[in-house]
Amino acid sequence: MKKIEIKIIDYRPEHQSHFERLNRHWIEKYFWLEPIDKFVLMEPEKAILQRGGNILMATINNEIAGTVALKKVDETTYEFTKMAVDEKFQGNGLGYALTKAAIEKAKIMGAEKLLLYSHTSLKAAIHLYRKVGFRETHLEPGVYSRSDIKMEMDLDQIKIIKADEMYANAISTIGKKSFHDAFLPTFNRYEDLVEYLDYTYNVEKITDSIKKSNNVFFVALYKNKLAGFAKVKKQSLNMQLTGSRQMELQKIYVLKEFHGTGVAAALLHSVIGLAKNIRPACIWLDVYIGNKRGIRFYEKNGFEKFGKHSFKIGTQIFSYDLMILPGAVFGVNQESSQIVSYGND
Ligand SMILES: CC(C)(COP(=O)(O)OP(=O)(O)OC[C@H]1O[C@@H](n2cnc3c(N)ncnc32)[C@H](O)[C@@H]1OP(=O)(O)O)[C@@H](O)C(=O)NCCC(=O)NCCS
């Protein structure tokens, strides 16, 4: 039997006809299209994306097979809506994969609560919702005439803050601890590691760095606990790349106990949000060649390797992969990227 490969990908404009087809099918089969459905299905960019929501598509062996949307209700609440899997692909775990991926995406976007409206006759959907943690709540009248059930789920909260100097201490602590835990085994001399951390994460040095207009620091809180940080240089040229507008994701560190919580993805989401605003032609970064988990994380988020370089820490030379996220991935083409100076870093 042919192996089934399921992928969850972000919606792109060319997916509109699939988004409409998949949802139109089940809504017209069991109910009827309401005016709000028509708007959402025909103009998902206006109805969902431009209002701060998100849409995911599921593929099975590279064929579009399902979808789900997150409609923004307010800063911390999203409606889980328009989930559909092509009938010929149902029962393969796609609905489950889409539901889990949408929950993760919502957390990354800062959601604290998800809600949904459904109908109790949609047995597979209701089963799936309960399985992942949605619970029934009071249904207010008049949202969709076809729904007879409303469900909600509280999410483990991730907050991303653009850091000011007040966070220098926190950044220093997270940086030292997470680098130490991740890279201790790669150092031949412990003194090299300690010297590097004392220099790089000196609180005064971090304070100065936060003040520089070319730098942006994001700090992540998970359930109100400090969990990680990212540092971006808005303009930073890598000589192995062409083009004059390059943003560097210089550091992204998450404390060990928060690995797997979505904190790293939430930090990256904020970095890409910044890039969408200031429109560099790309985001580049370097990652230690032995950091397989980190490389997988970046690849999963659209980064590709484009070169290597090395860096001396104390007496030891470390090799790094260089990776790039092209502007096209976050909606910037080369021509429209702007040349701006942010001064010295
Ligand atoms: C709901 C839907 C997206 C699920 O897609 P899917 O790819 O078949 O989902 P999965 O294969 O991941 O899982 C389906 C789950 O539902 C269960 N299920 C299927 N039919 C069921 C039924 N009649 N009653 C109860 N559970 C059922 C399956 O056993 C499975 O659960 P399990 O993993 O615990 O065994 C799909 O059925 C669909 O498109 N339905 C029409 C649209 C819809 O209802 N959308 C939601 C509107 S609110």
Tell me the per-residue pLDDT of 150-208, one tens digit each, with 9 for 90 and over: 999 999 889 999 999 999 999 999 999 999 999 999 999 999 999 999 999 999 999 99
Q: What is the largest CA-CA distance in the chain?
A: 70
Spatial CA neighbour of 340 closest among 279, 256, 257: 279
pTM of the predicted model over 0.75: yes
What distance in angstroms lies between residue 282's CA and the mean position of ligand 1's atoms?
40
Fold match flag (6-155 vs 159-336): yes
CATH of 159-336, one of 3.30.460.80, 3.40.630.30, 3.40.50.150, 3.30.70.20: 3.40.630.30
Structure confidence at residue 57 (pLDDT): 98
The pLDDT of residue 343: 45
- Asked if 252 contacts 293 with a C-beta cutoff of 8 angstroms, the reply is no
Q: How far is the CA of 55 from the centre of ligand 1 (A)?
A: 19
Which pLDDT value is given to residue 252? 97
More reliable by pLDDT, 209 or 1: 209
Each residue of 64-107: pLDDT tens digit?
999 999 999 999 999 999 999 999 999 999 999 999 999 999 99
For residue 259, pLDDT beyond 50: yes
Nearest atom in ligand 1 to the alpha carbon of residue 86 is 39
pLDDT score of 111 more than 80 = yes
The whole-number pLDDT of residue 1 equals 60
Q: How confident is the prediction for the chain on average, in pLDDT? A: 93
3-state SS, residue 5: coil
Domain boundaries, the chain: 6-155, 159-336
Given a contact cutoff of 8 angstroms between Cβ atoms, the answer to whether 57 and 19 are in contact is yes
Of all residues in the chain, what percent carry a pLDDT higher than 70? 96
- Ligand 1 binding pocket, CB closer than 6 Å: 26, 83-85, 90-96, 118, 122-125, 127-128, 131
DSSP of 30-75, one letter per residue? HS---HHHHHHHH-HIIIIITTT-EEEEEEETTEEEEEEEEEEEET
Q: Mean pLDDT, to the nearest integer, of 132-137?
A: 96
Specify the residue with its C-alpha closest to ligand 1, atom 4. 95
Q: How far is the CA of 123 from the centre of ligand 1 (A)?
A: 7
Return the residue whose CA atom lies nearest to atom 33 of ligand 1: 93
pLDDT category at 144 given cuts 50, 70, 90 is confident
Q: Between 3.40.630.30, 3.40.50.2000, 3.40.50.2300, 1.10.10.10, what CATH number should domain 6-155 receive?
A: 3.40.630.30
Which residue, judged by its Cα, is nearest atom 18 of ligand 1?
124
pLDDT of residue 340: 47
Percent share of the chain, pLDDT over 90: 88
Q: How confident is the model at residue 4 (pLDDT cuts 50, 70, 90)?
A: confident
Q: What spacing in Å lies between the alpha carbon of 129 and ligand 1's midpoint?
A: 9
265 CA distance to ligand 1 centroid (A)? Answer: 28
Can you state the percent helix, strand and coil of the chain, rounding each to 5? 40, 30, 30
**pLDDT tens per residue across span 298-341:** 999 999 999 999 999 999 999 999 999 999 888 887 655 544 44
- pLDDT of amino acid 336: 52
